Amino acid sequence: MKRFFRMLISVTMIACLSLNMLACGSENSAPVADSEAADHQLLDFLSISEGNVPMSSTPATDSDNTKYNEKVLPDAGVTLNLPEEFVNTDGYIYYSSQDISSGNGIYYASAIYYGVTEEEFFNYLTKEEVTEEETEALARQADSIFFIFGIDDNRSLTELVDYINEGMPASEKYSESSFHKLTTVDGCTFYEFTGDAGFNSQFQDEYATEYETLISLKDELIRNATFTAPERPFANLVGSKLSFTTKDIDGNTITSDEIFSQHEVTMLNVWATWCHYCIEELPDLETLNKELSQKDCAIVGLLGDGTDQKTINDGLDIMAESGVTYLNILPWDGWDTSLEVKSWPTSFYVDRNGYVVCLPIVGASVSKYGPRIDSILSGEISLSDHENNVLNDSGGAYRIFVVDKDKNPVSGVTVQFCANDICKMAVTGESGMVSFNDEESVYEVHILKAPDNYKPDNNVYYTEDKYCDLTLILEKK
């Protein structure tokens, strides 16, 4: 099987593993592999693969209000209307969807058929030890029904193919002819992959017949599917301020201000005691943290499963074994919702004022962490307190200024100003300013609509708890 699709299949196996962990009352997010690690066996759900795809996935699930014959693949914006042949099968169909670009708007949805029963499939996943022979045997019973890719922001097929081909050997790169355009919805264009994914299935007769039937219905399945533009992960996180009180791993109370104000940039690394890839990168993070101290930057760990003393003790043991000396903190109420964590590890970049500077890096990618921080320090990625959230005392109102990168006021911007369940709206005039005379508190500010020649801004911004000015910067298309 070709490498890129081998990675996607490994993703589905990890997601299936996470479903089993959920049933056992463990964490429901799967580990994420290093994008630069060595190539391992197909379908080994603890394997590491090369390339662009972070080794994590969100299993597709039917919501309570979906019809029996619908399959919703939410992270790719695809809803399938399943023919009866797809509903009652002897083999097992695994559906998966994911943003494969850590928030950069490239998505995929897939359906993989396994020539084994559902019970046999999950028995494989739940075994404590899996032999190489068992892994290879299951790999021979797998083949794809479809792969669908999406790319947003009205970007081209060339950009999608370049992303897929990045890091792949020349012999396994794909051409644009391997992708058939399906539709464009709200700037997101969907393509069906029609090339050779390189499967080498050897189904038994009854499963081979069923697979052929499913393939014969595939075009009808895709033709009847519904497509919507997926919401980018972390869309509301970048530019927002993290504010919390928690404890460090030794039990001392600590606030977000105390953590982030100490350094120009802090990398908040979310990890867990059950996450193999999280633990594997800890020694490298310790080395990187020492290097970052020379740049007024630091790494802070967040032990995401540190909600009980036994797990905290396990975390302390792992840190000791890994030589970790940098600050580690415990989760606070609502941390996973505010950070939108679905995959482990995930690393966030926060400035001195507590604002999230940019999209996080999803997956254990030690080689990317340092360059990301260097890009922030150099101004290539702008710090939010300097660029997007300039707060000044305004006297007796909340004033919202919207400007472009050259500091010119932008008129015609619809701004929303919210507290609890009540929101107000206003449109900027020639000065690029709107004001709200509400009582002093912390308010959310949203840009509901930007002028046609400016890019949308889906971030959520926050005022101070006293009257102030808030300056937001829009980028031109």
Kindly state whether residues 149 and 23 are assigned to the same domain.
Answer: yes
| Residue-level pLDDT at 425 | 76
pLDDT (average), residues 213-242:
88
Kindly state whether residues 407 and 465 are assigned to the same domain.
Answer: yes
For residues 79 and 139, the model is more confident at: 79
| Residue-level pLDDT at 420 | 65
Is residue 234 assigned to a domain? no
Query: Could you tell me which residues come within 8 angstroms of residue 444 by beta carbon, excluding any fewer than 6 positions away?
Result: 416, 417, 418, 419, 460, 461, 462
Domain harbouring 425, CATH code: 2.60.40.10
Is the confidence at residue 219, as pLDDT, over 60?
yes
Kindly state whether residues 261 and 141 are assigned to the same domain.
Answer: no
Kindly state whether residues 406 and 321 are assigned to the same domain.
Answer: no
Kindly state whether residues 199 and 83 are assigned to the same domain.
Answer: yes
Q: Which residue has the tokens 């080994």?
A: 44
Q: Encode 283-309: b = buried (16+ Cβ within 10 Å), e = exposed.
A: eebbebbeebeeeebbbbbbbbbbeee
Is residue 430 assigned to a domain? yes
| Residue-level pLDDT at 395 | 52
Q: Which residue has the tokens 């990301």?
A: 372
Is residue 10 assigned to a domain? yes
Helix, strand, or coil (residue 393) = coil
Distance CA 346, CA 287 (A): 18
Is the confidence at residue 170, as pLDDT, over 80?
yes
Is the confidence at residue 161, as pLDDT, over 70?
yes
Domain count, the chain: 3
Nearest to 32 by CA among 242, 17, 61: 17
Kindly state whether residues 307 and 440 are assigned to the same domain.
Answer: no
Distance CA 189, CA 155 (A): 8
pLDDT (average), residues 381-391:
46
| Residue-level pLDDT at 10 | 52
pLDDT (average), residues 270-286:
93
Domain boundary (381, 400, 429) is at 381
Instruction: Phi first, then psi: give them for residue 308, nearest 5 degrees.
Output: -140, 160
The half-sphere exposure of 295 on its side-chain side, counting CA atoms within 13 A, is 19
Is the confidence at residue 222, as pLDDT, over 80?
yes
| pLDDT bucket at 34, cuts 50 / 70 / 90 | very low
Nearest to 316 by CA among 346, 291, 276, 279: 279
Is the confidence at residue 310, as pLDDT, over 50?
yes
Render pLDDT for 394-447 as a digit per residue (tens, 0 to 9): 456 788 889 888 778 898 898 888 876 577 778 887 778 888 777 888 888 989
Asked which of 24-38, 71-85, 309-323 is least confident by mean pLDDT, the reply is: 24-38
Kindly state whether residues 59 and 97 are assigned to the same domain.
Answer: yes
Structure tokens at 68: 């029996």
| pLDDT bucket at 133, cuts 50 / 70 / 90 | confident
Instruction: Phi first, then psi: give them for residue 392, nearest 5 degrees.
Output: -135, 155
Is residue 38 assigned to a domain? yes
| Residue-level pLDDT at 79 | 94
Nearest to 82 by CA among 230, 227, 224, 194: 224
Q: How far apart are the first and last CA of the chain?
A: 40
Q: How far is CA 278 from the centre of its chain?
A: 16
Which amino acid is residue 210, in one-letter code? E
Kindly state whether residues 313 and 281 are assigned to the same domain.
Answer: yes
Per residue, the 3-state secondary structure of 284-339, as one string, reads: HHHHHHHHHHHHCEEEEEEECCCCCHHHHHHHHHHHHHHCCCCCEECCCCCHHHHH
**Full-model pTM:** 0.60
Kindly state whether residues 328 and 461 are assigned to the same domain.
Answer: no
Is residue 235 assigned to a domain? no
Kindly state whether residues 354 and 454 are assigned to the same domain.
Answer: no
Kindly state whether residues 294 and 352 are assigned to the same domain.
Answer: yes
Distance CA 164, CA 148 (A): 13
Which amino acid is residue 48, in one-letter code? I
The residues with which 403 forms a beta bridge, in sequence order, are 409, 473
For residue 119, what are the domain limits? 3-227
Structure tokens at 297: 């930057």
Question: Mean of the per-residue pLDDT values for the chain?
Answer: 81
Is the confidence at residue 150, as pLDDT, over 70?
yes
Structure tokens at 392: 């000044």
Q: CA-CA distances (angstroms) from residue 324 to 247, 287, 327? A: 18, 9, 9
Kindly state whether residues 442 and 314 are assigned to the same domain.
Answer: no
Is residue 88 assigned to a domain? yes
Domain boundary (362, 381, 400) is at 381
| Residue-level pLDDT at 416 | 84
Is residue 251 assigned to a domain? yes
Which value, to the nearest 10 degrees, does the dihedral of the CA atoms of residues 328, 334, 336, 337 take?
-150
Domain boundary (183, 201, 227) is at 227
pLDDT (average), residues 252-259:
97
Q: How far is CA 260 from the centre of its chain?
A: 23
| pLDDT bucket at 36, cuts 50 / 70 / 90 | very low
Is residue 275 assigned to a domain? yes
Helix, strand, or coil (residue 72) = strand
| Residue-level pLDDT at 29 | 37
Domain harbouring 288, CATH code: 3.40.30.10
The half-sphere exposure of 34 on its side-chain side, counting CA atoms within 13 A, is 18
